[in-house]
Structure 1
């Protein structure tokens, strides 16, 4: 089934309309308003398959098309996005673009799965990793050039230029903001690809392809699907060769998504703009109120004028996101007590759903030790802001 025309690419629609309109079936008499779920493992065909033929369910599925079309329009990609079975499956595919024996420059604070998978690949000798403070532009530029191995002294030959720059902005969970456009230019000058994990921001807040990234990554599980009920990932690019390589990796490694999960993700995407508008506004309100709270040592949120990433966020973000972090006075035990005593906030990992979640990140064994023991990551949902504040402030008061 063909998809509706890409109206947003012509500048006719704003992103908060695209989330509703993109990926709809053609307007024909008695046609469904929503794309149907296609449950088939194989597709009719005779003769030698031509490029684009579905052939088999590991290569393509009609249920994927509407979601991939919608995400590509939102990210400003010239080609359909690629949906994967999980965010980590998308990470794996993106890392496959690093050549054997190559060098990856990666933030020291990133999604834990990305860090662990990159470390595993490095331990197996497939490539080396130079970890950096992604907010330190000069350090990242040096690591890209090869004039400095960055903050990771054990990253191999420090004189070679890098092959890939991995960007998270804001980072998980420290909320550091990278100068995406400046770093993308430096990476390209060094001959490196740029992969940007846009999970925290979503394309409604940041559009990394427009800032120079080659590939954008999402854990669809989070904001795009938005209801904590699916596990999916996605990649978007405007480069035909990169997309072909990523598609081949998905097909050969079997990292394919179930049709029903992708259908749910598209349904969740329809309310993305409303969810982000609500949760982002509440996150800013909570961040302001938490500043100076006697039980809070520090507040991390790029929307605060005193935050280290504020000026960069104003420049490259449409808002400041729906994640904030606090460091609780009294150390890890006090932070755990806050998470244990909230009644509306849910003590759980993950983020980006309609419900508000709270987690002490260092409870996770693989979290970098540079993340403070008393740091709580707050994923703000769409509940009433005053109810969320009352619950959190009561727990802090204990």
Structure 2
């Protein structure tokens, strides 16, 4: 019988250590492994850049949770995405991505792959007729979906966009960092590849940096495995261990992140200092219907646009006590940031520039009775 998500989060890829009986598998810090006969590693491990038992355990765990065949763990989310693009792109290829995609991803596509002859088009993925028009005319190699998007919280119909992309021979990559496999399963909706910044919700405690690519196609998996080995942007054994440690509680954490964010969004939606709350769990969100269809819960990320413009937005980030002003997201603690001046500053002046009055909130798992008053008093101070 197939095991449930939380059971696999705890056990997949993590058998009891056969040597000692340790319930938690050890961290294999060795850089090299003994061979009794030249060219024949004892257990398939030769050199830790090529493969490592701790990294293998994490990769098996990630593949199980996403429903993929194979997964590959990297030193960061950007390293993971770069490995995928290196594996599939050639000069002259085209990428279609959202016009509110993560700024770091756009920077790499535009400024790193662009000079190598890779072009791109940024579009509004919520308009499927426009998606059809662009994909049919540009014939992209890759369609890069992010949902919910960072930081505008746009919801993309994975199934709808994937169907269009596949009609025109494109691979579909879904960045599932915000939702995680606890809330959204892109492969079940037609995606070919799933990307994660494991730094965020998978690690979950703001203490480890990492990334992962999960695939269902063996041929593509082999290409990514080669890039991982040859280029060496691997996750260290300790980072892999820390990520697995976080994943064990992913399901219960995402439930709490989601319930806290839902309550907080509802509490501030009508506040006089707020122009708009961007959270897919709100019926007022334009992507609420699609999110309800493809997500089990709505996650812990939300953004707020302030009526007082950029001045109010920057002021808000300094007037909370439970929310900490810091970049990144997905940890157990609540964070607040100004994307335009922080995480998305690199896309200023491009089609992906974010509104100056936007504040992004990563809602943690603290008591909601502490989070709501903290944010409300900060909003009250703007009036």
Normalising by structure 1, we get a TM-score of 0.90
Counterpart check, 1:366 vs 2:346: yes
Alignment of 1:255-294 (within 5 A): 255-294=233-272
Match of 2:150 among 149, 172, 185: 172
**Aligned partners of 1:193 and 1:395: how far apart in 2?**
44
**Aligned partners of 2:232 and 2:253: how far apart in 1?**
32
Counterpart check, 1:86 vs 2:76: yes
Q: Is the 8 A contact 2:329 2:335 kept in 1?
A: yes
Counterpart check, 1:22 vs 2:12: yes
Runs of 5+ in structure 2 lacking a partner?
none
Count residues in correspondence.
373
Once the two structures are TM-superposed, the CA of residue 26 in structure 1 deviates from its matched residue by 4.0
Higher relative contact order, structure no. (Cα contacts within 8 Å, ≥ 6 residues apart): 2
Counterpart check, 1:311 vs 2:311: no
Partner residue of 2:307? 329
Alignment of 1:1-398 (within 5 A): 12-26=2-16, 30-45=20-35, 46-48=37-39, 53-79=44-70, 81-96=71-86, 97-146=88-137, 160-364=138-342, 365-368=345-348, 370-398=353-381
Query: What is the root-mean-square deviation in Å for CA atoms of aligned residues?
Result: 1.6
**Aligned partners of 2:325 and 2:89: how far apart in 1?**
36
Q: Is the 8 A contact 1:298 1:326 kept in 2?
A: yes
**Aligned partners of 1:136 and 1:362: how far apart in 2?**
25
Runs of 5+ in structure 1 lacking a partner?
1-9, 147-159
* Alignment deviations for residues 271-292 of structure 1 (CA, whole Å, 9 cap, x no partner): 1111111110010001111111
Once the two structures are TM-superposed, the CA of residue 44 in structure 1 deviates from its matched residue by 2.1
* Alignment deviations for residues 188-215 of structure 1 (CA, whole Å, 9 cap, x no partner): 1111111110000000111111111111
Once the two structures are TM-superposed, the CA of residue 238 in structure 1 deviates from its matched residue by 1.3
Normalising by structure 2, we get a TM-score of 0.94
Moved segments of 4+, more than 3 Å: 26-30, 46-50, 367-370
Q: Is the 8 A contact 1:143 1:162 kept in 2?
A: no
Once the two structures are TM-superposed, the CA of residue 27 in structure 1 deviates from its matched residue by 7.5
**Aligned partners of 2:11 and 2:236: how far apart in 1?**
23
Q: Is the 8 A contact 1:198 1:206 kept in 2?
A: yes
Secondary structure of the equivalent of 1:203?
Answer: helix
* Alignment deviations for residues 35-65 of structure 1 (CA, whole Å, 9 cap, x no partner): 1101111122334458x93221111000112
**Aligned partners of 1:136 and 1:277: how far apart in 2?**
30
**Aligned partners of 1:123 and 1:214: how far apart in 2?**
23
**Aligned partners of 1:249 and 1:126: how far apart in 2?**
20
**Aligned partners of 1:276 and 1:367: how far apart in 2?**
29
Secondary structure of the equivalent of 1:366?
Answer: helix
